[in-house]
Chain A
Amino acid sequence: MRVLVAMSGGVDSSVAAALLLEQGHEVTGVTMRLWGGESDAGCCSVADVDDARRVAQQLGIDHLVFNFSEAFEERVVSTYVEAHRRGLTPNPCIECNRHLKFDRLLSRAAALGFDLVATGHHARVRTLPDGRRRICRGVDGAKDQSYVLYMLRQRQLQHLVLPVGALTKAEVRAEAARLGLRTAGKPDSQDVCFITATGGREAFLGERIPLRPGRVVDRTGREVGRVEHVELVTVGQRKGLGVAGGGVPRYALSVDVPGATVTVGERHELDVTELDVRDVVWSDLPVEGELLVQCSAHGTPRRATITLVDPGAAGPGSVRVRWVAPSRRVAPGQSVVFYDGDDVVGGGVAT
């Protein structure tokens, strides 16, 4: 098969390319240039492109660079900024997967005559007896990235391979070391590629939207503190709310950006029994009933009953999640992913 491997310059995608080559595929590497600005943590700095290219040279495969920075700006960065402006808690890596890696790159790969696209995600593509495919958790639970792949549907899953999902991170590094790949000891990237460690979200967003101070009130409306930037507060957050020390810890229960107000309460007040999820996509057909639901990249999956809201509606649907046991409030904007055992069946965005 002709396989196009998305190589970020990290160890996982380096090993993914090496494994596919060993399996006898005709492999080409590609690095997507996504973010043109300042970066220190991401997958698209010139240094990372260099690493990807050098690994490709070492493996003896072709290496291409695609500049998707305009689409990245429009689909990922602008969306991220707009979400913060509205007081939501976005996940830009998921939007990047949705719009860049698994739409733009996948369709370009097909146009260029590739049969498959591979990435270095720690997750597996599982084929059901009837031929349908699903994203399944990676072997290494601590590194599992199935959560950020929830948007993949059959048309994408049929053309996707995830070679390192069957390995633990330690095995990936060992494989890289065995092959003498220069990325074997490279640290994992942790953060959003366009947010620098020095400036953080505050500096990045501060250049793009007004960040305004806000009031912190309790449930009775009484002011108990102040925050510097209401746009940066996340539901569930405890620190940085300007609530006087001592006493019972207070958590952000809701954020009202237009009113520049954060409402806080005690830990138990964060617990809810229901969660509404919008823009839901399914790997094939919608699923109802009891599933496991995960609300952050490495969050604990919790049991819940899923019901479709207005199942006849056109476009992406909505889902109501009823927790089996009360669960902590999910920040609006976060991705909510539905699992059947270890398989991703769908997901959407918390409202």
Chain B
Amino acid sequence: MLGYLDHAATTPMRPEAVEAMLPFLSERFANPSGAHRPAREARRAIDEARDVMAELLGFEPGEIVFTSGGTESDNLAVLGVHDRRGGSVVCSAIEHHAVLDAVVSRGGRLAPVDSQGLVDLDRLASMLDEHVTLVSVMAVNNEVGTIQPLEQVAALVRERAPRALLHTDAVQGFCWLDLPARTAAFDLVSVSAHKFGGPKGVGVLAVRAGAELAPRQVGGGQERGRRSGTHNVAGIVAMAVAARLTATRRTDEVERVTTLRDRLVEGLLAAVPGLVETGVRSGSAGPDRSQKVAGICHVCVPGVESESLLYLLEKGEVFASAASSCSSGALEPSHVLAAMGVPRSLARGSLRLSLGWASTDADVDLALEVVPPAVERLRLFSEGDGT
């Protein structure tokens, strides 16, 4: 879809993944928990998918728990560990709500981030002690795209909080990062298929052997009792296909999408006066984007309201987002930008253009054609501030 710049919300499915799931929606429909041959065939399909996900996440097959997606994986990690082990839980202040709200519901603490959107290691260290049972820091922030220093987090936690399990919400990370290289020290890793060309409604929580957690969903005892419920066979099979393609093409894709993203953000910075790029460190040679994933261009447009801007972009066939949406579809103020210390007046004009495997030069051209005049128009019409 030309103009689709919202890959961080969801990606179009890779055609190979669509192809792979179709038989499991028709003739290969059996329940993998059954005892007959069709059931065993379905079982084999998910076991093979399990092997793929284990390899790509750097876990053993028995450590892969299939879930319904990122939110379930995050909830299971945080709440499941706390239910089993008690103690106190800590996460970064810029986690997705699936982690953040779970941590807050257990009276947990939030580690601040710096103005670039990276977790503040000193402040995190000050929250760690022998009572902490779980520390959760995301691999990549979903709004501004910053890559968190997971190796340093892990070293800190092992030193200061010896009892703590380490969880990372890697939902936005799998596309862009070689996770096993960064999460070797982590006990729990969440991913979601629809962020990397798979279908919605399926994901993984990888659980290192020995990391005990209480199930959130009980019943038939699937997934070694860690997550009951009939398997989403078609989704699981398609996820593995999408994951394999993503991993195989990752190096090339990161390079290709980085070029697209840099052209997009540089073009916007040149065309829109006052534009502020988030998640970067300013250096003498221009902004340093080395701590951001390739797919995310996140900016704040002073003097403009995100909701209005998104509407004008949509009219120009550019589909983007701002902060997270609530269930009504209204935009909510971003807790991520607030935690980074971005003033509310600036955060009101946030815009996230996110690219992925389906993005092309034509998408970037269209955005560069549509965004600057939209901003110009909104700046001409000053919106009432409710006075």
Contact = CB atoms under 8 A, between A and B. Distances in A.
Contact of A71 (B308, B332, B381, B385): B385
Given A111-B378, A111-B381, A112-B311, A104 B386 contact: yes
Contacts of B307: 64, 66-67, 108
A99 B328 contact: no
Q: What DSSP secondary structure best describes chain B's contact surface?
A: loop
A323 to B, nearest CB: 33
A104 B383 contact: yes
A281 B263 CA distance: 52
B384 interface: yes
Given A64-B311, A112-B308, A112-B311, A99 B329 contact: no
A222 to B, nearest CB: 46
Contacts of B382: 107
Nearest to A112: B311
Interface in A293-310: none
Nearest to B304: A111
Contact of B329 (A49, A69, A104): A49
Interface residues of A, number: 28
A99 B387 contact: yes
A107 B383 contact: yes
Nearest to B329: A65
A75 B328 contact: no
A71 B386 CA distance: 6
Kindly name the residue among A66, A75, A108, A112 whose own CB sees the greatest number of chain B CB atoms within 10 A: A112
A350 to B, nearest CB: 22
Contacts of A104: 383-386
B377 interface: yes
Contacts of B333: 70
A262 interface: no
A259 to B, nearest CB: 33
Contacts of A70: 333
Contacts of A66: 307, 330
A65 B329 CA distance: 6
Scoring A49, A99, A111 by chain B CB atoms within 10 A of each residue's CB, the highest score goes to A111
Contacts of B328: 31, 33, 46, 49-50, 65
B148 to A, nearest CB: 28
Contacts of B387: 75, 99, 103
B386 A65 contact: no
B384 A107 contact: yes
A1 interface: no
Nearest to A47: B328
Given A99-B387, A103-B386, A110 B329 contact: no
A26 to B, nearest CB: 12
Interface in B105-161: none
B79 interface: no
Given A71-B386, A106-B384, A65 B378 contact: no
A28 to B, nearest CB: 9
A157 interface: no
Contacts of A64: 307, 311
A141 B382 CA distance: 38
Interface in B84-114: none
Nearest to A72: B386
B331 interface: yes
B205 interface: no
Nearest to A31: B328
Nearest to A32: B330
A307 B39 CA distance: 88
B327 interface: yes
B308 A111 contact: yes
Nearest to B386: A71
Contacts of B380: 111
Given A46-B327, A49-B329, A65-B329, A108 B305 contact: yes
Contact of A110 (B311, B332, B381): B381
B312 A67 contact: no
Contacts of B381: 107, 110-111
A106 B382 CA distance: 11
A107 B384 CA distance: 6
Interface in B290-332: 305, 307-308, 311-312, 315, 326-332
A108 B383 contact: yes
A49 B328 CA distance: 6
Contacts of A31: 328
A66 B305 CA distance: 10
Interface in B353-387: 377-378, 380-387
Contacts of B331: 67
Interface string A24-54: 0000000101000000000000100110010
A325 B274 CA distance: 62
Nearest to A69: B330
Contact of A112 (B312, B329, B384): B312
14 contacts: A46-B328, A64-B311, A66-B330, A67-B307, A67-B326, A67-B332, A74-B386, A104-B384, A107-B384, A108-B383, A110-B381, A111-B381, A112-B308, A113-B312
Given A67-B330, A113-B315, 13 more contacts: A33-B326, A49-B328, A49-B330, A50-B328, A66-B307, A71-B385, A72-B386, A103-B384, A108-B384, A110-B381, A111-B377, A111-B383, A112-B311
Interface of A: 31, 33, 46, 49-50, 53, 64-72, 74-75, 99-100, 103-104, 106-108, 110-113
Interface of B: 305, 307-308, 311-312, 315, 326-333, 377-378, 380-387
Shortest 7 CB-CB contacts between residues of A and residues of B: A71-B386, A111-B381, A67-B330, A33-B330, A49-B328, A103-B384, A107-B384
